[in-house]
Chains A and B, each alone.
Chain A
Amino acid sequence: MSDHTSKQFDAEMEAIRSGVLSMGGMVERQMTRAITALREDEDARLIDAVAADEREINHSQVLIDQQCAQIIARRQPTAVDLRVVMTVTKVVNELERIGDEIKKVAYKSARVRGNDQLTRLRYHDVVRMAMGAQEMLRKALDAFARLDVNEAADVVEEDDEIDVAFNGVMRQLISYMMEDPRTITPALEVVFIAKSLERIGDHAKNISESVVQAVKGKDVRHATADQIRAEVAGE
């Protein structure tokens, strides 16, 4: 994208974009911590760090939204600038919600800890789901940073996989609970963890759809993965 005649406008747009990327970096760091909390032994400091990350993410959301409102009020962006600003307001919203979900994962994982019947579950499929969600988040942020619609389309396709994994975990937990009612309480915690991870995948998908809108000018929010792939391939 070539530069604006107004260098100040360029600087303001760049500040917003880099703000989103650094917010994305915070969410990724938080995600890494939550996955560690899920896998390893109890570490209260880790949970505290995840909570601190979440506060920082919330702060970024408010700040970037303010910057977007300012740029709309003062510059009346049009065309690609308008599409990018609209995308940014959506992306920071999704990132903030991802931050909330990650916090839930970390808190719940602390509560499941030490319950022998469920450790096998926790260490396998749920962790694998978490890694999948983390990868989707990374790709979605990368697609935003480079306005890469192909990578965005990949993320949308990957969301189907995480949904399948979620259903698998659900089935497994249900059979556990039917076999032994004493597992119901911890199993429900794991259900919530899996649900949060599945939601993180959804939010990453939403980020990717916003990227497609910024680049292509077309709202693909309720389109299928195939339709999005076709839209991205067009032109």
Chain B
Amino acid sequence: MEARTQPTTHATMLGRTPPGAAAPAGSAPPPLKAESRGLSFHYGKFQALKSITMPVHEHRVTALIGPSGCGKSTFLRCFNRMHDLYPGNRYEGEIVLYPDNTNLLDRDVDPIEVRMRVSMVFQKPNPFPKSIYENVAYGLRVRGVKNRNLLDDKVEASLRGAALWDEVKGRLHEVGSNLSGGQQQRLCIARALATDPEILLFDEPTSALDPIATASIEELIAELRRQVTILIVTHNMQQAARVSDYTAYMYLGELIEFDRTDTIFFKPRRKETEDYITGRFG
């Protein structure tokens, strides 16, 4: 975001932060978009998250890594109150969304409102059994938008935002599930973008995709961080290294280390982190 406002002369291009990379070490961190404070989460009697306090920087990609069962997906899902759907689940602590200081976990906050502001993209592409157009327009229709022109504009903008427009503009009324896996995942991203969310959550968005489709989703994530703040759970450590600005390493429901991705992958502070990312885990 720092580079966009400057004229792109060669001098500024040389001096600027390359896209996809965090600001150089030592510069002030970007403002916070959200913050988890002392967040614990229980599935019935099982405590899946243990007092997690972690910042989420605005217009940055934060990756959550850790072995299976470490709580990274549970943590991600707290951000859009996905756990509300099942009885017996219990939150403690808070997730504060800035700039309005809303605690997402507050009982008085409507989870539907939260999900408008914090959208999610899942591991397996899950388009609705509807046309491409209706998949993207769905969130807006739920909101009560009926104006045809407005819907058209928003669908196009979202599909462009998800780098899918050029591939589907001639067949918007075909069924979404006819698309390839990578295209379906981008359709789900377009659907998530249509409501203008502030945060996008990705839960292993490329684990069902081939390397080319994976690369296009990663490229998209790098583009999307200009407009939204991104949290991504991934099993692929190299993917975390490639796409994220910040990385959090979790283990057994605890946040072991949070730092700039450059630091985590070159010289992490904690031995546990070093062992995990170098493949000495287990």
Contact = CB atoms under 8 A, between A and B. Distances in A.
Interface in A62-98: 76-83
A3 B280 contact: yes
A5 B265 contact: no
B264 to A, nearest CB: 8
B130 interface: no
Nearest to B282: A5
Given A83-B266, A217-B266, A78 B280 contact: no
A175 interface: no
Given A76-B238, A78-B237, A217 B278 contact: no
A79 B277 contact: yes
Interface residues of B, number: 16
B274 interface: yes
B152 interface: no
B278 A81 contact: yes
A185 interface: no
A5 B277 contact: no
Nearest to B264: A79
A67 to B, nearest CB: 18
B278 to A, nearest CB: 5
Interface in B223-265: 237-238, 241, 265
B277 A78 contact: yes
A192 interface: no
A75 to B, nearest CB: 8
Contacts of B279: 4-6, 9
B267 interface: yes
B281 A79 contact: no
Contacts of A5: 279-282
B275 interface: yes
A78 B265 contact: yes
Given A4-B278, A4-B279, A9-B279, A78 B241 contact: yes
B15 to A, nearest CB: 21
Contacts of A218: 267
Contacts of A79: 265-268, 273-274, 277-278
A3 B267 CA distance: 18
A206 B280 CA distance: 29
A4 B273 CA distance: 14
Contacts of A76: 238
Nearest to B241: A78
Nearest to B238: A76
- What is the size category of the interface that chain A forms with chain B? 10 to 19
Nearest to A1: B280
Interface in A4-59: 4-6, 9
Given A217-B266, A217-B267, A80 B281 contact: no
Interface string B3-31: 00000000000000000000000000000
B279 to A, nearest CB: 5
B225 to A, nearest CB: 22
Interface string B88-123: 000000000000000000000000000000000000
Interface string B205-217: 0000000000000
Contacts of B281: 5
A34 B265 CA distance: 43
A83 B263 CA distance: 12
Contact of A82 (B237, B266, B273): B266
Nearest to B265: A78
Interface string A129-172: 00000000000000000000000000000000000000000000
A80 B238 contact: no
Name which of B238, B273, B274 has the most chain A CB atoms within 10 A of its CB.
B274
Contacts of B277: 78-79
Nearest to B237: A78
B266 A2 contact: no
Contacts of A80: 274, 278
A218 to B, nearest CB: 8
Interface string B41-81: 00000000000000000000000000000000000000000
Question: What 7 A-B pairs come out closest when comparing CB atoms?
Answer: A217-B267, A78-B265, A79-B274, A78-B277, A4-B279, A81-B278, A79-B278
6 contacts: A2-B280, A4-B278, A76-B238, A78-B241, A79-B267, A79-B274
